[in-house]
Homo-oligomer: A and B are copies of this chain.
Amino acid sequence: MILRDPVHGLVTFESDEVEIIPTLLATREVQRLRRIRQLGLASYAYPGADHTRFSHALGTAHVMTRYLRRLRDIDQELPYWQRVTTENARDAVAASLLHDVGHGPFSHLFEDAIPEGPSHEEWSARLVMYPDGELHRLLSSYDTSLPERVVGLIRGKHRLSYLSSAVSGTFDVDRCDYLLRDAHFTGVSYGAFDLDWLLRSLRFGHTGGDGPAPPIAIDGSKGLPAIESFIMARLFMFQQVYFHKATRAADWMMRQVLGRVRELVLDGTRVGSVPPAMVSLLRDGDTTCAEYLEIDDIALLAAMSEWRHCSDPYLSEMSTRLHERKLYKTYELHGSQRDQGPELLQIAQDIASSQGFDAERHVGLDEASDTPYDEEDSPLRVVFPSHSPRRPSQVSFILGRLSGEKLRRVRLIFPPSLRDEIEKAVASTTLASSSAAT
């Protein structure tokens, strides 16, 4: 199989150990990912960001083949029982392709909005193990224990720790692909980093021995800029894309829409067009694989399109607004304002109430946060010819300054018509409190 990917260029899956990829791609479970956008509603902020989970899954499998090639170049230094076998390699590319096969509509959005259901990771595992699925049948046809091994890898468990951390870790193949992909499709150049150099910088944390296989590590003499620019790319993408105000506002509105549907469904009110899987999830906290496979962006967008005409005014209004991208506005809290979140939310809601809005439904406080580089639990080390391995923050100018730092965005979200009044009220409150503090 040979195809063109706008991110990685020429992508091929041809050797024996990756010939499983084309067959996996043809299953309906994986094809469903064509109908789930990678970045949810981010194309409301970045008009190019309509790329799907399918292209990301493909890219992730491709990066895994390159990762494995690098491992093979260096694993001669390990005892043979710690090296990657053909079977391991096949397991790893399959797991990398399937790691997110369980995502629901709009990726993270759906599971955030319906927290009573299983997580997407749990769905990934279920779909791999689903006996009536094309996917499970295919995997089993290779080897009856292959589905279980894939689930193990997806959950980060493997005899070879350098392999499980390739599927999920500080710089796993998933992140390698999505940073480059999201950068390519949004046009945010800051997300690019040097994948070639990063892969080339991989080393093992030690040279084996009798114990367990070594963790993955970075070459200290050549690899630092690669890992630094990778971390910086993550930071920039969070700042610019994942935490973008329009995306966050649209996400919040979609959660409100789904939340209202939940209320109506649980109240027993008839709401048309709700996909069966969603009804089951809301009522029973779970659904079947067969039902789950039927929900995707198309199903949810088609439902939302119907809800524009439903009898519930709030659901109708919010659905129409999302359909036509008539988004709510945001006000970002800076500095000490961020500690006053609940108080400022109350002020904004009071304003909304005084204007006749149902304040709880129309005004929200949105907090997004991430630690771009969290070294605490990471086994990643930097290795040198004549020193013991060190933590990246010990040897990197920039990582030493970033490690553990938390990036945080707190925003009020509200209808456009309230913008001026809310901004004014928040500004004066903040001013008052900061002069009081002085």
- The complex places the Cα of A187 from the Cα of B224 at a distance, in Å, of 17
Residues in B with CB closer than 8 Å to A196 are: 9-10
A226 CB, nearest partner CB in chain B, Å = 9
Interface assignment of A58: CB less than 8 Å from any CB of chain B? yes
CB-CB contacts below 8 Å: A307-329 with B:
323-326
Interface assignment of A437: CB less than 8 Å from any CB of chain B? no
Interface assignment of A200: CB less than 8 Å from any CB of chain B? yes
Do residues B186 and A190 form an inter-chain contact, with CB atoms below 8 A?
no
Do residues B54 and A51 form an inter-chain contact, with CB atoms below 8 A?
no
Interface assignment of A81: CB less than 8 Å from any CB of chain B? no
CB-CB contacts below 8 Å: A36-54 with B:
37, 43, 46-48, 50-52, 54
Q: A6-B184, A398-B235 are in contact. Are A225 and B240 (CB under 8 A)?
A: yes
Scoring A48, A188, A228, A401 by chain B CB atoms within 10 A of each residue's CB, the highest score goes to A48
* CB-contact partner of A197 in B10, B225, B229, B325, under 8 A: B10
CB-CB contacts below 8 Å: A323-348 with B:
323-326, 334
Interface residues of A, count at CB 8 A: 67
CB-CB contacts below 8 Å: A217-231 with B:
222, 224-225, 228-229
Q: A55-B47, A302-B302 are in contact. Are A225 and B239 (CB under 8 A)?
A: yes
Interface assignment of A290: CB less than 8 Å from any CB of chain B? no
CB-CB contacts below 8 Å: A1-56 with B:
2-7, 9-10, 12, 26, 28, 31, 34-35, 37, 43, 46-48, 50-52, 54-55
Interface assignment of A298: CB less than 8 Å from any CB of chain B? yes
A60 CB, nearest partner CB in chain B, Å = 12
Q: A51-B50, A190-B225, A302-B299 are in contact. Are A2 and B398 (CB under 8 A)?
A: no
Interface assignment of A305: CB less than 8 Å from any CB of chain B? yes
Interface assignment of A116: CB less than 8 Å from any CB of chain B? no
Interface assignment of A397: CB less than 8 Å from any CB of chain B? yes
Interface assignment of A185: CB less than 8 Å from any CB of chain B? yes
Do residues A2 and B401 form an inter-chain contact, with CB atoms below 8 A?
no
Do residues B48 and A187 form an inter-chain contact, with CB atoms below 8 A?
no
Residues in B with CB closer than 8 Å to A305 are: 294, 298-299
Residues in B with CB closer than 8 Å to A397 are: 235, 239, 405, 407
Residues in B with CB closer than 8 Å to A224 are: 239
- The complex places the Cα of A3 from the Cα of B228 at a distance, in Å, of 18
Looking across the interface, which residue of chain B has its beta carbon closest to that of A14? Answer: B73
Do residues B236 and A31 form an inter-chain contact, with CB atoms below 8 A?
no
Residues in B with CB closer than 8 Å to A189 are: 192, 194
Q: A28-B324, A200-B2, A236-B229 are in contact. Are A187 and B7 (CB under 8 A)?
A: yes
Interface assignment of A265: CB less than 8 Å from any CB of chain B? no
Interface assignment of A281: CB less than 8 Å from any CB of chain B? no
Residues in B with CB closer than 8 Å to A197 are: 10
CB-CB contacts below 8 Å: A176-212 with B:
184-190, 192, 194, 196-197, 200
Do residues A427 and B4 form an inter-chain contact, with CB atoms below 8 A?
no
- The complex places the Cα of A231 from the Cα of B277 at a distance, in Å, of 49
Interface assignment of A386: CB less than 8 Å from any CB of chain B? yes
Looking across the interface, which residue of chain B has its beta carbon closest to that of A332? Answer: B221
Do residues A48 and B5 form an inter-chain contact, with CB atoms below 8 A?
yes
Looking across the interface, which residue of chain B has its beta carbon closest to that of A241? Answer: B4
Scoring A46, A294, A298, A326 by chain B CB atoms within 10 A of each residue's CB, the highest score goes to A298
A-B contacts, 19 of them at CB < 8 A, read A2-B222, A4-B46, A6-B187, A9-B196, A10-B200, A26-B325, A31-B323, A31-B325, A34-B43, A35-B301, A50-B50, A50-B52, A50-B55, A190-B229, A225-B240, A302-B302, A397-B407, A398-B402, A401-B405
Taking Cβ atoms with an 8 Å cutoff, the residues of A that contact B are: 2-7, 9-10, 12, 26, 28, 31, 34-35, 37, 43, 46-48, 50-52, 54-55, 58, 184-190, 192, 194, 196-197, 200, 222, 224-225, 228-229, 232, 235-236, 239-240, 294, 298-299, 301-302, 305, 323-326, 334, 386, 395, 397-398, 401-402, 405, 407, 427
